[in-house]
Amino acid sequence: MQSMPPMPPRIVFFAASLLGLFAMLPFAVIAWARSAPSPSRPIHIVQDMDFQPRFNTQAVNPLFGDDRAMRPKIAGVVAVNGGSGSSHLEQGVVDGQWATTLPSGIPMDMSTLEHGRTRFNIFCTACHGYAGYGDGIVNERALDLMGNADGPVYGTAWVQAKSVHDPTVRDQPIGQIYNTITHGIRNMAGYAAQIPTEDRWAIASYVKALQRSQDATLQDVPPEHRESLKQ
Ligand code: HEC
Closest Cα to atom 10 of ligand 1: 161
Ligand 1, atom 6: closest residue by C-alpha: 124
Ligand 1 centroid–CA 201 distance in Å is: 15
pLDDT at position 6 is: 82
Ligand 1 centroid to residue 227 C-alpha, Å: 37
Question: Is the Cα torsion angle 215, 220, 226, 228 positive or negative in sign?
Answer: negative
Amino acid at 9: P
pTM for the model: 0.68
- The percentage of the chain sitting over the pLDDT mark of 70, rounded to a whole number, equals 92
CATH level 3 topology of 87-125+163-230 = Cytochrome Bc1 Complex; Chain D, domain 2 (1.10.760)
pLDDT for 53-101, tens place per residue? 889 999 999 999 999 999 988 888 776 766 677 889 988 999 999 999 9
Residues with beta carbon inside 6 Å of ligand 1? 123-124, 126-128, 138, 159, 161-162, 164, 169, 177, 180-181, 185-188, 191, 203, 207
Residues 1-27 have pLDDT tens digits of 567 788 888 999 999 999 999 999 999
Pocket residue to mutate for ligand 1, from 170, 188, 195, most atoms within 8 A of Cβ: 188
Amino acid at 127: C
**Closest CA to ligand 1's atom 32:** 181
Of 166, 157, 158, nearest in space to 127 by CA: 158
Confidence of residue 133 (pLDDT cuts 50, 70, 90): very high
- The structural domains of the chain, with segments of one domain joined by +, span 87-125+163-230
CA-nearest residue for atom 40, ligand 1, is 124
pLDDT at 136 over 90: yes
Distance 218 CA to ligand 1 centre (A): 29
pLDDT at 190 over 80: yes
Q: What is the mean pLDDT of residues 133-137?
A: 94
Mutate-to-test residue for ligand 1 from 127, 159, 171, highest number of ligand atoms within 8 A of CB = 127
Q: Which residues contact 103 (CB under 8 A, 6 or more apart)?
A: 86, 88, 89, 201
Instruction: Give the DSSP per-residue string, 115-184.
Output: HHHHHHHHHTHHHH-TTSSS--HHHHHHHHHHHHSSS--TT----PPPPTTSHHHHTS-HHHHHHHHHH-
Whether 231 has a pLDDT exceeding 70, the answer reads no
Cβ atoms 196, 204 nearer than 8 A: no
The predicted model gives 160-178 an average pLDDT of: 95
Residue 108 — very low, low, confident or very high, per pLDDT cuts 50/70/90? very high
